Amino acid sequence: MVLSQSESVKKTKKKMHVTEGGSRIEFESAGFTNGNFASIKVENEVVLTREQAKRGINLVALDGKSHKVIFSKRYDTYGDANASK
């Protein structure tokens, strides 16, 4: 797997990865003190926006063959002690 990254905002990481078969996956992540946001795109379609994907764990599951999104969810592990379960 090869990931490339460039700094789009101070201490904000933006990465892109092309999966086998040509799917394009992009994600951004910035910690609390650096903007407090995240976003995920698959095939240039926004799956989780910056407003939806804030703190905690942001998860997107793709179908192994078609690379279509089959599940996406945000788990606020900071604000909800039960979210990690």
Instruction: State residue 56's pLDDT score.
Output: 81
**Amino acid type, 26:** E
Average pLDDT over residues 2-22: 55
Q: What is the largest CA-CA distance in the chain?
A: 39
pLDDT in tens, 25-61: 888 888 878 888 888 888 888 888 888 777 788 888 8
pLDDT of amino acid 22: 66
- Separation CA 1–CA 6 (nearest Å): 17
For CA atoms 57, 51, 44, 5, the dihedral sign is: negative
Does the pLDDT value for residue 19 go beyond 70?
Answer: no
Cα 30 from chain centre = 11
The Cα 81–Cα 32 span in angstroms is 18
